[in-house]
Amino acid sequence: MPDQYDVIVIGGAAAGLSAALVLGRSRRSVLVVDSGEPRNAPAAGAHNYLGREGVAPAELGRLGRDEVAAYGVQVTAGRIVAASATTLAGADPVGFSVTLDSGATVTARRLVVASGAVDVLPQVPGLAEQWGRGVVHCPFCHGWEIRDQRIGVLVTTPTGAHHVQMFRALSDRVTAFVTDPALLDGTARAGLAARGVDVVDGPVAEVLSEGERLTGVRLGDGSVVALDALATASRPEARVAFLSGLGLTASEQFMGDFSYATALTVDAVGQTPVRGVYAAGNVTTPMATLIASAAAGTQTGAAVHGDLVQADLAAALATAAAAQSTR
């Protein structure tokens, strides 16, 4: 592994590999550092990804790594633990140094952060063990697979009523479990009643399973409601602790007054407030689907190449001007 690259991409899932593909095809030297922890790892299949509908996340990653390798992109397993600005050889004033968990230090002219997000889940015993299988969050990602089944929706946020209605479009056997009665006003309750949704107020004490299969939930009073699937909102939090040396942190994301996630702030092409550091995917857009993250990575990779082209041009013009002045 060389000590210096044009671009280091942090994260080897859809956004990161898409950025790397564009950059590799543009003849940039690229290193992808992949921790091997994609957000969708628990899921059996990735959906709404045109041309690869239902592909296993691990298989999609393997295909992507093979594709970028064909253009000279290097992919290494590891985790970035620190990043800082540095001065590199050459006329480009922008440069970065990153440290891997192996202790290795690598430099690059630009960084693409595609480290994704971590889903923080409701603290209900048994829920995390079923995450991505019997417990789901997105009707677009998992809805078809649980259509017409007995679906529970754990309401933990002010947007919970809408979440319930999204799953009601997939099955006529939906039960809303409302952890705090204040989360549903009269209008929301009337809407659920009109659609035939049962509402249970009070805590869910446990998610029940038999082997790999979710079977229901146990309520606070000890009673059991049989289910085939449970939907719940997670809180996506951006993986960005390693960027503190660059002064970059994730900011709270709001729906009205409700903070539902954290994310890096970027402009339309993925540029962060730090010159030369770009980002794409769920690290910037927590609700983005897989194909949207891939598209964002493609756009950001193109923007990074354009940035480097301009830097190379500026350096060439400065060299030419210097040569002219000595004649």
Q: What pLDDT score was predicted for residue 1?
A: 72
For residue 188, what pLDDT is reported? 97
Q: What is the DSSP letter of 195?
A: T
> What pLDDT, on a 0 to 100 scale, did the predictor assign at position 208?
98
Write down the pLDDT at residue 50.
93
pLDDT tens-digit series, residues 225-274: 999 999 999 999 999 999 999 999 999 999 999 999 999 999 999 999 99
Q: What integer pLDDT is reported at residue 96 of this predicted model?
A: 98
Would you place residue 89 in the very low, low, confident or very high pLDDT band (cuts 50, 70, 90)?
A: confident
Which structure tokens are listed for 91?
A: 């006329």
Q: What is the pLDDT of residue 260?
A: 96
Per-residue pLDDT of 111-128, as tens digits, reads: 999 999 999 999 999 999
What gap in Å lies between CA 282 and CA 280, rounded to an integer?
7
Q: How many helices (H) and strands (E) does the chain have?
A: 6, 19
**2 band by pLDDT with thresholds 50, 70 and 90:** confident
Read off the pLDDT of residues 139-149 as tens digits, 9 standing for 90 and up: 999 999 999 99
Q: What confidence tens digit (pLDDT) does each residue in 30-46 have?
A: 999 999 999 999 999 99
Q: What is the pTM of this model?
A: 0.95
Q: Specify whether the CB–CB gap between 175 and 160 falls below 8 A.
A: no
Structure tokens at 255: 């729906």
- The helix or strand, by DSSP H or E, that contains position 74, with its residue range, turns out to be strand 74-77
pLDDT at 324: 84
Give mean pLDDT, residues 323-327: 80
pLDDT at res. 153: 98
**What is the arithmetic mean of pLDDT over 286-291?**
96
Q: How far apart are CA 102 and CA 78, in angstroms?
A: 7
- Per-residue pLDDT band for 323 (boundaries 50, 70, 90) equals confident
Mean per-residue pLDDT over the chain, rounded: 96
Q: What whole-number distance in Å separates Cα of residue 181 and Cα of residue 167? A: 20
End-to-end CA distance of the chain: 41
At 304, the pLDDT band (50, 70, 90 cuts) reads very high
- The confidence score (pLDDT) of residue 91 equals 81
Q: How far is CA 239 from CA 119, 177, 244, 281, in A?
A: 10, 30, 11, 11
C-beta of residue 29 within 8 angstroms of C-beta of residue 305: no
Asked whether residue 327 carries a pLDDT value surpassing 80, the answer given is no
Determine the Cα–Cα distance for residues 14 and 101; give it in Å rounded to an integer. 22
Residue 82 has pLDDT above 80, yes or no: yes
| Between 124 and 89, residue with greater pLDDT | 124
Average pLDDT over residues 65-71: 98
Q: Is the pLDDT score of 192 beyond 90?
A: yes
The alpha carbons of the chain give a radius of gyration, in whole angstroms, of: 23
The pLDDT of residue 326? 78
Q: Is 154 helix (H, G, I), strand (E, B) or coil?
A: strand
Q: What is the pLDDT of residue 21?
A: 98
